Amino acid sequence: MSKYSHARAEQMRRAIAEEAARIMSEHGVDDFLLAKRKAAERFGVSDASVLPKNKEIEMAIADRQRLFEGDRHDDTVADLRRVALRAMHLLREFDPRLVGPVLSGTASAHSEINLHLFAESAETVAFRLMEHGIPHQAAERRLRYERDRIVSYPAFRFVAGHQPVDAVVFPLNGIRQSPASPVDGRPMRRGDATDIEALLEGVE
């Protein structure tokens, strides 16, 4: 049971959400749990029951961006989406999908571009990057589907323009089911090149 009264717990939850949002926005942190822990530590909070949900932090990020950045934030997101679109065109044979903050519009200038690719093997993606002379690093990403099902996938990190890109490689049939979003646990929203072009309409 929380040691805080209901009103105090709600106040503390909002404060932690706002501080976590600041940490993620200003320092390029993309790990909700890490940002939450840092924010709670700043307020001297050890009671897990008052920690905000990831969705509350995402909402606080959006509020912060509207308040402090305004049109500048819109320009930042549009620039990131243009870079993402160029990377997607480069890797179009792998049916690329944009996911994460750049798609949702909560990205900051520090955010990386997150792509989902679909291929018979990760090696085909590596060969394509090499053919284009793009330096890259191999990695692994563990993604959750249901509460008790976590699947590991190969991934590649590279730079498009000046922006880091993290591309996870799924099998061809992986396009049918999206992993859970770290924000709300629902299937992750994916956007193809046509979706991103539509988001950029009117911005040019």
Please spell the DSSP secondary structure of 87-101, one letter per residue: HHHHTGGG--EEESH
Q: pLDDT under 50 in the chain at which residues?
A: 1
Percentage of the chain lying above the pLDDT 70 cut: 96
90 and 189 share one domain = yes
116 and 185 share one domain = yes
96 and 55 share one domain = no
pLDDT of residue 1: 41
* Residue where the block lists tokens 């105090």: 8
Tokens of 138: 């191999």
125 and 75 share one domain = yes
pLDDT of residue 172: 97
36 and 85 share one domain = no
Q: Which residues lie below 8 Å from residue 104, measured CB to CB, with a gap of 6+?
A: 58, 189
42 and 105 share one domain = no
59 and 109 share one domain = no
Q: Which CATH number goes with the domain that contains 140?
A: 3.30.460.10
Quick one: CA dihedral 90, 91, 96, 100, positive or negative? Answer: negative
Q: Which residues lie below 8 Å from residue 11, measured CB to CB, with a gap of 6+?
A: none
80 and 143 share one domain = yes
User: pLDDT by residue (tens digit) across 118-161?
Assistant: 999 999 999 999 999 999 999 999 999 987 899 999 999 999 98
Angle at 173 between CA 171 and CA 179, to 5 degrees: 80
Pairing mode, strands 113-118 and 136-146: unpaired
1: in domain: no
Query: Using CA atoms, how far apart are residues 159 and 161, in angstroms rounded to an integer?
Result: 6
Considering 19, 40, 68, which residue would you say is the last residue of a domain? 68
pLDDT of residue 200: 95
136: in domain: yes
CA 114 to chain centre: 6
By the 8 A CB rule, do 177 and 145 touch? yes
pLDDT of residue 199: 94
pLDDT of residue 4: 64
127: in domain: yes
- How many other CB atoms are found less than 10 A from the CB of residue 199? 18
Domain count, the chain: 2
Quick one: CA dihedral 75, 202, 66, 97, positive or negative? Answer: negative
Residue 180 vs residues 15, 24, 72, 77: alpha-carbon distances, Å:
26, 20, 30, 23
Amino acid at 9: A
Query: Using CA atoms, how far apart are residues 137 and 41, in angstroms rounded to an integer?
Result: 33
144: in domain: yes
Q: Which domain holds residue 41?
A: 6-68
79 and 174 share one domain = yes
